[in-house]
């Protein structure tokens, strides 16, 4: 399959690296075929490394097929939903590809979801089969879901199966184990590229989580898009590369941009259940990691680590940040130490998550997300009329279309209809396109603050605050203001040893960087800020705190 023709030329094509074409043919297929090709091409090469043990591509394929036979024997049919509640271990890729092999649908659950959220997603997705790790942070949610009737079949991936250092938690009565589950030889069901492959829950900024429907075509085209962009460059994977996977595989960024893309090229995935800054440095220095993809909180931790600059980082070929906006000064510090430009871009769960990449031959400005990747179209439309395309330089809502874009939200026809206009997906991001085709974002549509009639973008304020030498991390939200309707409140964590920071001092520092209407009217210094399971700032938690009694809030607040 190839992508549909479109109107060209696009201004951003002038920025493409030599040899990269927007209309490059994209290999769009199925996930079982992707694994089969990897096993055929790289059978004896290591696919996974976990706790010092390696698993070859051939063994990964065999284990996934064994579990697939077991699922068929249990009565799981093509199109059925199978939920995964797993951390980063070999259990995830084995279970993921086993479900895809039989044409069933993976439902990704977050290990940090409370029992109520797990049950809600199981009921929404219709998944009655749950594959879970026997970890203390996972089993209670699974058992609660089984007790409530949301789960009929519980399959446990035992942590000790993956080498020394695992936990030994008894398998609950009545549960099957991933290690022992098998079934008779069977003809695999036919899987079509447009079949549903994954239900990926995304909260966005709109409240209750909803599931983006991602097809085999969406995910494989996203892999092909990344391949087309990186072909022939140092950012491309080659067989033998070692890719650190500290990002959670239940998240779309690690699933597609890291795991699936690496497997197409025969790279080895260094699976890590969580990010630990010291472990990450060891993986680079002694494990000879070549590719490290992180979220801003990971790079902030590395940039602030006292031993970062003294370690041997020579194995690194690619560093990249995604998932949220990266403070500009962090990227500068990482590049100064590693000698590598910290790559990045923009994407969403709904885009699988391919979207844009920043240009590595120039320093990105605030909010710069770069240019659309091959096969992807983007433009900017009026906030009050999503059919009216704005000229370059004007601020509006960013739209996108391409073979990687979700067909919609699971069982939410009204939300799906609202998200699409004339075949374009409305991203909810506010930004602009420069005349040369480079895109930049100013904020999320739902997070925009209207202060005294002016549009105020928290992201722009956060970028300016991050320039302060004593600031470690910052988040800005809108709060009620009796005069202006809304005003900006900043939540800040400070670097170790920093002097106290007052609102007046911060406003003075920002005076030449922001307009008067953008200056924060309140400042709260915190020891830490809330984050989502993948490391994004959880601003919704800060907003929710505004309705709590004052005695339940913490931190020191200064008001203007």
Contacts of 208 (CB under 8 A, 6+ apart): none
pLDDT (tens digit per residue) in 237-287: 888 899 999 999 999 999 999 999 999 999 999 999 999 999 999 999 999
Average pLDDT of every residue of the chain: 90
Percent pLDDT > 90 in the chain is: 71
Give kind and range of the element (H or E) at residue 512: none
Lowest-pLDDT range, 32-46, 113-127, 353-367, 370-384? 353-367
Residue 205, domain member (yes or no): no
pLDDT (tens digit per residue) in 206-226: 346 799 999 999 999 999 999
Lowest-pLDDT range, 78-92, 207-221, 244-258, 478-492? 478-492
Answer yes or no: are the C-beta atoms of 217 and 3 closer than 8 Å.
Answer: no
pLDDT (tens digit per residue) in 317-338: 999 988 766 777 788 889 999 9
The stretches of 126-182 forming alpha helices (DSSP H) are 139-148
Task: Tally the domains of the chain.
Answer: 1
State the Cα–Cα distance between residues 391 and 376, nearest whole angstrom: 19
Copy the structure tokens of residue 378: 């983007």
State the Cα–Cα distance between residues 507 and 28, nearest whole angstrom: 51
Q: What is the pLDDT of residue 553?
A: 47
pLDDT (tens digit per residue) in 499-549: 999 999 999 999 888 878 889 999 999 999 998 766 778 888 888 888 665
| Torsion (CA) 235, 284, 96, 219 in degrees, nearest 10 | -20
Q: How many CB atoms lie within 10 A of CB 190?
A: 9
Residue 343, domain member (yes or no): no
- 161-166 own/partner pairs: CB under 8 Å, 24+ apart: 161/91, 162/50, 162/51, 162/53, 162/89, 162/90, 162/91, 163/50, 163/51, 163/52, 163/53, 164/51, 165/51, 166/51
Look at 457 and 560; give whichever has higher pLDDT. Answer: 457
Residues counted in the chain: 560
State the Cα–Cα distance between residues 490 and 464, nearest whole angstrom: 11
Percent pLDDT > 70 in the chain is: 93
CA angle centred on 533, ends 144 and 472, rounded to 5°: 145
As a whole number, mean pLDDT of residues 155-179 equals: 93
Residue 484, domain member (yes or no): yes
Nearest Cα residue to 199 out of 212, 217, 218, 185: 212
Query: Residue 205: pLDDT above 70?
Result: no
Residue 519, domain member (yes or no): yes
SS3 state at 103: coil
The parent domain of residue 464 ranges over 448-559
Residue 180, domain member (yes or no): no
Lowest-pLDDT range, 122-131, 410-419, 448-457? 448-457
Copy the structure tokens of residue 557: 């607040």
Answer yes or no: are the C-beta atoms of 204 and 389 closer than 8 Å.
Answer: no
As a whole number, mean pLDDT of residues 400-426 equals: 97
When pLDDT is cut at 50, 70 and 90, the band that residue 3 belongs to is very low
Q: What is the pLDDT of residue 143?
A: 95
Lowest-pLDDT range, 89-93, 108-112, 433-437, 511-515? 511-515
Query: Residue 52: pLDDT above 80?
Result: yes
State the Cα–Cα distance between residues 485 and 479, nearest whole angstrom: 8
Query: Residue 483: pLDDT above 80?
Result: no
Answer yes or no: are the C-beta atoms of 275 and 261 closer than 8 Å.
Answer: no
When pLDDT is cut at 50, 70 and 90, the band that residue 227 belongs to is very high
As a whole number, mean pLDDT of residues 391-407 equals: 97
Answer yes or no: are the C-beta atoms of 352 and 217 closer than 8 Å.
Answer: no
Residue matched to tokens 């950012």: 235
- Burial (CB < 10 A; 0-12, 13-18, 19+), residue 131, is buried
The stretches of 231-327 forming alpha helices (DSSP H) are 252, 261-265, 277-285, 296-303
State the Cα–Cα distance between residues 443 and 518, nearest whole angstrom: 13
Residue 381, domain member (yes or no): no
Q: pTM here?
A: 0.83
How remote is the C-alpha of 78 from its chain's centroid?
27
Q: What is the pLDDT of residue 204?
A: 43
Task: Quote the strand ranges of 299-357, DSSP E.
Answer: 318-321, 343-346, 356-357
Can you give the CATH number for the domain in which 506 is found? 3.30.300.30
Residue 50, domain member (yes or no): no
Instruction: Name the DSSP class of 338.
Output: H
- Burial (CB < 10 A; 0-12, 13-18, 19+), residue 203, is middle
Lowest-pLDDT range, 395-409, 422-436, 546-560? 546-560
Copy the structure tokens of residue 12: 């951003």
Rg (CA), the chain: 23
């Amino acid at each position: 399959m190839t992508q549909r023709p479109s109107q060209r030329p696009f201004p951003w094509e002038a920025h493409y690296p030599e040899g990269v074409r927007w209309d490059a043919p994209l290999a769009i297929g199925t996930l079982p075929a992707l694994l089969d090709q990897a096993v055929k091409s790289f059978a004896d090469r290591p696919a996974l490394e976990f706790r010092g043990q390696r698993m070859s591509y051939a063994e990964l394929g065999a284990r996934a097929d064994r579990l697939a036979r077991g699922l068929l024997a249990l009565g799981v049919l093509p199109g059925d939903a199978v939920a995964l509640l797993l951390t980063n271990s070999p259990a995830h890729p084995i279970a993921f590809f086993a479900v895809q092999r039989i044409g069933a649908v993976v439902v990704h659950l977050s290990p940090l979801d409370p029992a109520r959220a797990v049950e809600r997603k199981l009921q929404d997705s219709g998944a009655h089969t749950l594959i879970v790790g026997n970890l203390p942070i996972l089993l209670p949610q699974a058992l609660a879901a089984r007790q409530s009737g949301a789960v009929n079949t519980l399959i446990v991936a035992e942590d000790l199966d993956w080498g020394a250092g695992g936990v030994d938690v008894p398998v609950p009565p009545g549960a099957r184990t991933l290690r022992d589950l098998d079934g008779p030889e069977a003809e695999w069901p036919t899987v079509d590229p447009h079949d549903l492959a994954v239900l990926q829950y995304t909260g966005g900024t709109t409240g209750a989580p909803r599931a983006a429907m991602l097809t085999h075509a969406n995910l494989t085209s996203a892999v092909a898009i990344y391949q087309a962009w990186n072909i022939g460059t140092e950012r491309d994977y080659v067989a033998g590369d070692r890719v650190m996977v500290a990002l959670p595989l239940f998240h779309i960024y690690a699933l597609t941009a890291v795991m699936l893309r690496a497997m197409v090229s025969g790279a080895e995935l260094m699976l890590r259940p969580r990010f630990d800054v010291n472990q990450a440095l060891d993986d680079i220095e002694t494990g000879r990691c070549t590719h490290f993809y992180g979220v801003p909180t990971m790079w902030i931790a590395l940039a602030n680590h006292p031993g970062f600059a003294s370690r041997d980082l020579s194995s690194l070929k690619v560093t990249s940040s995604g998932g949220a906006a990266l403070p500009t000064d962090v990227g500068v510090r990482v590049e100064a130490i590693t000698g590598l430009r910290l790559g990045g871009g923009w994407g969403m769960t709904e885009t699988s998550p391919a979207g844009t990449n920043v240009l590595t031959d120039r320093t990105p400005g605030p909010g710069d997300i770069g240019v659309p990747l091959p096969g992807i179209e983007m433009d900017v439309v009026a906030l009050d009329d999503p059919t009216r395309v704005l000229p370059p330089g004007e601020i509006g809502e960013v739209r996108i279309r391409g073979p990687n874009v979700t067909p919609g939200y699971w069982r939410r026809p009204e939300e799906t209809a609202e998200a699409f206009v004339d075949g374009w997906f409305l991203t909810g991001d506010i930004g602009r396109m420069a005349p040369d085709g480079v895109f930049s974002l100013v904020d999320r549509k739902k997070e925009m603050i209207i202060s005294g009639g002016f549009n105020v973008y928290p992201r722009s304020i956060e970028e300016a605050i991050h320039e302060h030498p004593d600031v470690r991390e910052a988040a800005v939200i809108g709060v009620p203001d009796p005069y202006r309707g809304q005003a900006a409140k900043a939540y800040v964590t400070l670097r170790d040893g920093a002097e106290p920071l007052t609102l007046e001092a911060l406003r003075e520092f920002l005076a030449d960087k922001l307009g008067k209407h953008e200056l924060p009217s309140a400042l709260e210094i915190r020891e830490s800020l809330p984050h989502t399971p993948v490391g994004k700032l959880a601003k919704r938690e800060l907003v929710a705190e505004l309705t709590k009694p004052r005695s339940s809030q913490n931190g020191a607040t200064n008001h203007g």
